[in-house]
Amino acid sequence: MKDNNRLIIIADDDVDYLFQMEHYVKSFGFEVKVAHSQKEAELIIENTEPVLAIFDLMMERDDSGFILCHKMRRKHPNVPIILATAVASETGISFGVSTDEDKQWIKADLYLEKGIRKDQLHKEINKLLKL
């Protein structure tokens, strides 16, 4: 039986990246549920309360990550969310969640550009979970 006090959701349509992130998070001692699409992630959000979520921004839609952040906030308002994306390197568009105004519409607690190092991810998860 899974311990929801240690459960992290990771949603990304890049199978290699998803595998890497799952491996990292499990090595930190967490249980992991993965979703390969926005649709899969929505089902997990509806049926599970994780301690943290990591969402890719662009999956089957360019704004899949934003939609997942909004759905997570509605269902589980206190669960920290990391939005991980390569959008800046792919499009030149950059954004963040450093201001309250940004957080109002993005709904994520942290924005990380993909290429996240294992030690950086561990530090950020611990910080968000106050470990």
Q: How far apart are the C-alpha atoms of 49 and 27, rounded to whole Å?
A: 21
Q: How far apart are the C-alpha atoms of 4 and 61, rounded to whole Å?
A: 29
Does the residue 113 lie in any domain?
Answer: yes
Does the residue 99 lie in any domain?
Answer: yes
Tally of domains in the chain:
1
Q: How far apart are the C-alpha atoms of 86 and 64, rounded to whole Å?
A: 13
b/e burial code for range 28-49 (CB count within 10 A of at least 16 → b) = eebebbbbebbebbbebbeeee
Boundaries of domain holding 101:
4-16+38-129
| Nearest CA-CA partner of 121 in 38, 32, 41 | 32
Sign of CA dihedral 9, 15, 16, 19: positive
Does the residue 103 lie in any domain?
Answer: yes
Q: What is the pLDDT of residues 74-119, one digit of tens each?
A: 999 999 999 988 754 444 454 554 555 544 545 678 888 888 899 9
Residue 115 pLDDT: 86
Q: Which residues pair with 82 in a beta bridge?
A: 54, 110
Does the residue 79 lie in any domain?
Answer: yes
Does the residue 23 lie in any domain?
Answer: no
Residue 106 pLDDT: 59
Q: How far apart are the C-alpha atoms of 105 and 34, rounded to whole Å?
A: 25
Does the residue 67 lie in any domain?
Answer: yes
Does the residue 29 lie in any domain?
Answer: no
Q: What is the pLDDT of residues 29-85, one digit of tens each?
A: 999 999 999 999 999 999 999 999 999 988 888 788 889 999 999 999 999 999 988
- CATH number for position 103: 3.40.50.2300
28 secondary structure, DSSP code: T
Residue 1 pLDDT: 39
Does the residue 30 lie in any domain?
Answer: no
